[in-house]
Structure 1
Amino acid sequence: MHAVLREQQFCLARHLRDPERHAPPEGLEDRRLRLYRELFYGGIEALLAGNFPVLRKTLGDQLWHARVHDFYASYRCRSPLFTRVAEAFVDYLQGTEPDTPWQRELAHYELIESQLYLSDAQDPDHDPQGDLLQGEPVLSGTASVVAYRWPVERIGPAFQPLEAPALPTLLLVYRDAALQVRFARLSPMAYCLLTQVQGNGRERLQALAADQQEGLALLENLRDLGVVIGTR
């Protein structure tokens, strides 16, 4: 009896995920099945649309729903948490042929935004008033430094580039004191400074052959924004 019930459950699950390929269990009314199909898919689609609003608008209805349907039917999530679905969708995109050349990076950028918005990360131990040249600057737990081939912060329905720029897009994405997620473009020097994790501030600036006062001004400005929270 248990084996029969289990097989019926799997049969129903396969049908709800991919009704075009898998028939439903016998004896179930199609009207009821249609309701379940719409509720299950609609819930996942609405969740993804909320996490990837720019990607959803830029791809348009046809490409977006085709992509979500394939994710819903073929990808096996490892976590039962709804808050991890967006991360699973980005992972799914890595193993697919993209609809657009910038699709994966735009999705990753929007994932970073949503993760920082929801983050409850605790800042590491630090001295808020520490000397940023003598000590080791510490980034906030709600800040991320990222690099992309495509100008992801500009892509949208009105701007869909076909070729990547010669220079990468270097971004600082952070959550401010008002709990709003913001981004700022970084110079190559600033990007290298913020992505190095060893050595004190002075050593970092010397290694980059940068003007120390310019670099110190950058770090102090980031401390004012709450991105650099002090020193270790």
Structure 2
Amino acid sequence: MRQKSAMQLEILDHAGYQRVFAARIRDPRNAPRPPGATARRMRVYEQLLFNNLESFLLACYPVTRKLLGTRAWKRTTRRFFHEHHCHSPLFRDIPKAFLDWMEAGIAASDFTALPFLIQLMHYEWLELAVSIAEAEPDPTQIDPDGDLLTGRPALHPGSRLACYAYPVHRIGPRFKPAAPDQHMHCYLLYRDSEDAVHFTTLNPVTARLLELIQAEQPTGQAALRQIATEINHPNPQLVLDAGSQLLHDLVTRGALLGTWKNK
């Protein structure tokens, strides 16, 4: 019985040591070192783990880093490292956790001069999301030369549509809008056959067309007729003609893969 209690105590001590160790790494200025750990050895762990985390954030948010500047970026990423407890074991999920943490209040309280910050960060994160999307089209189910009006246009399943109140693709150190525009700025991010990520700007009507194609997989003609009805266009045929050219242009760019084959 005593032997079992000693084993339980050893496990608890080990867990306690890990908690102290982790707390020190998260907050080296305020948390004590674990017993027996030298300051030099702890600095190695502290710098290694923080630098690893920061490298993932830098790769995802290069424009955000430039806008914040070195000191504000370091201060913010350090605070994230200290405060936030990630629930996913995957390194690729760290940038989304950082975005969620910023959106929960940090951006609004600490960066009032950058009202577009969260939308910019979401746009930057979308590039990562598209690049690692596991959804892949089945080439046996796609006709690359299919009729885009009578057939069902095929959008890559890993593509993402997004609309923002700011022209996020233009934002940088030399362009920092103080207020939203009068219209939405829409984008399609997609991956080509070489797995390179591309984006194209869209007007709201085109964004709505692609939203229908992505969600409902209608024929091109049905989607365009629905668009004509939604915008109450006086001549639906003009919408069909312009939309047909648009669909062919998206195929040329690689945003559309062709049409889905009938099952």
TM-score by length of 2: 0.82
Give the drift of 1:64.
1.0
Q: Please state if 1:200 is matched with 2:228.
A: no
1:200 CA drift (Å) = 2.1
Which residue does the alignment assign to 2:244? 216
Kindly provide the amino acid, as one letter, of the partner of residue 32 in structure 1.
R
Q: Say whether residues 1:105 and 2:119 are aligned partners.
A: yes
Corresponding letter in the other structure for 1:50: A
Measured in 2, the distance between the counterparts of 1:176 and 1:16 equals 41
Q: Over aligned residues, Cα RMSD in angstroms? A: 1.8
Indicate yes or no: 2:79 matched with 1:70: yes
Q: 1:132 to 1:172 in 2, by over 3 A?
A: same
Per-residue CA deviation, residues 201-230 of structure 1 (Å, 9 max, x unaligned), is 112111211521110111111112221112
- Asked if the contact 2:185/2:203 (under 8 Å) is kept, the reply is no
Alpha-carbon shift at residue 120 of structure 1 (Å): 4.7
Q: Which stretch shows the higher mean deviation, 30-39 or 115-124?
A: 115-124
Match of 2:73, SS state, is: helix
Q: Considering only CA atoms, is the larger Rg found in Structure 1 or Structure 2? A: 2
Structure with greater proportional helix content = 2
**What SS does the corresponding residue of 1:147 show, helix, strand or coil?**
strand
Q: Among all aligned residue pairs of Structure 1 and Structure 2, give the percentage whose two residues are the same amino acid.
A: 32
- Structure 2 partner of 1:22: 31
- Structure 2: gaps (5+ residues): 1-9, 229-235
SS of the aligned residue for 1:173 comes to strand
Residue 158 of structure 1 is aligned with which of 167, 174, 180? Answer: 174
- The answer for the alignment partner of 2:91 in structure 1 is 82
Within 2, Cα distance between the matches of 1:20 and 1:29?
15
- For 2:255, the equivalent position in structure 1 comes to 227
CA distance in 1, matches of 2:167, 2:195: 24
Superposed displacement of residue 27, structure 1? 3.1
Which amino acid in 2 is paired with 1:216?
S
Q: Which amino acid is the alignment partner of residue 121 of structure 1?
A: A
Does structure 2 retain, via aligned residues, the 8 Å contact 1:140–1:226?
A: no
Paired amino acid for 1:116 = V
- In the alignment, the residues of structure 1 paired with residue 134 and residue 18 of structure 2 have an alpha-carbon distance, to the nearest angstrom, of 37
